[in-house]
Amino acid sequence: MGSLAEFRINISKLSEGIHEYHFEAEPLKIGLDERFSGTVKIEAKLDKSLRQMFLQVEIQAEGSFFCDRCLENFHQEMNTAYSMVYVQGARSAVDLNKKEDIQILTADMNYIDLDDDVRQYVLLTIPQKLLCREDCQGFCPVCGVNKNIASCTCNDQAVDSRWDVLKKLSHN
């Protein structure tokens, strides 16, 4: 991205113990597209010990999407969280039985940049099936009316005539 990270923690002279951070940024500044609006907010808690740091991040973001059933635009809040372990030195010194993600910090690293991780976790919270609401009725396949707004008198059992050949097979 080339520019200074929006979500950046200076670890160069960080004392041992728990440190809390609050960050906000416009979605475009961390690489999210125009579907996202408002600000992306994160609460980060960093627990630093002698050779490692344990980071917990909670993310809040907002987006506007089109419903897969009725094509109406809807607004959705997205909340997610992740944790990461940062270790000074070699990976062999790390307890690999931990379930958190692990990143190695070199001696010359002064910052932890969270932009990429935050962007990726926000994108992963977008559902595969985008629905304006769970009970969205979508369009009538016959007349095309949005059933969430109006009702129609069409027979929902209307079938594409291309399937008539299969109907004949099932009756034999």
For the segment 52-102, what is each residue's pLDDT rounded down to a tens digit?
A: 899 999 999 999 999 999 999 999 999 999 999 998 775 544 455 454 588
Dihedral-angle region of residue 166 (phi above 0 means left; psi in -120 to 50 means alpha; beta otherwise): alpha
Beta bridge partners of 2: none
Helix, strand or coil, per DSSP, at residue 28 = helix
Are 113 and 86 in a shared domain?
yes
Which residues on neighbouring strands pair with residue 20, listed in sequence order? 45
Residue 3 lies in a domain: no
* Radius of gyration (C-alpha) of the chain in whole angstroms: 25
**16 with 94, same domain?**
yes
Q: What is the pLDDT of residue 4?
A: 65
pLDDT at 7 over 80: yes
Cα–Cα distance list, 100 to 79, 84, 132 (Å): 19, 6, 33
Number of domains forming the structure of the chain = 2
Residues 108 and 166 occupy one common structural domain: no
- The dihedral over CA atoms of 158, 163, 168, 172, expressed in degrees to the nearest 10, equals -110
Which residues constitute the domain of residue 151? 137-172
pLDDT recorded at residue 80? 96
With a threshold of 0.85, does the pTM exceed it? Answer: no
Do the Cβ atoms of 23 and 44 come closer than 8 Å? yes
Do 149 and 160 fall into the same domain? yes
Give yes or no: residues 146 and 119 share one domain: no
Residues 153 and 108 in one domain: no
Q: Do residue 99 and residue 29 come from a single domain?
A: yes
What is the dihedral angle through the alpha carbons of 15, 17, 83, 89, rounded to the nearest 10 degrees? 50
pLDDT tens digits along 93-148: 445 545 458 888 887 888 999 999 999 999 999 999 999 999 999 988 888 889 99
Same domain? 145 vs 131: no
pLDDT at 91: 52
pLDDT band at 42 (very low <50, low <70, confident <90, very high): very high
Q: For residue 158, what pLDDT band results from cuts at 50, 70 and 90?
A: low
62/81 same-domain check = yes
Q: Is residue 2 part of a domain?
A: no
Kindly state whether residue 108 falls inside one of the protein's structural domains: yes
In a domain, 76, yes or no: yes
Task: State both tokens at 159.
Answer: 């079938």
Distance, in Å, from the CA atom of 40 to the CA atom of 35, rounded to the nearest integer, reads: 12
Q: What is the bridge-based pairing of β-strands 52-66 and 73-88?
A: antiparallel
Residues 65 and 121 placed together within one structural domain of the fold? yes
Do 110 and 141 fall into the same domain?
no
Is residue 109 located within the same domain as residue 58? yes
Q: Is pLDDT at 44 greater than 80 in this prediction?
A: yes
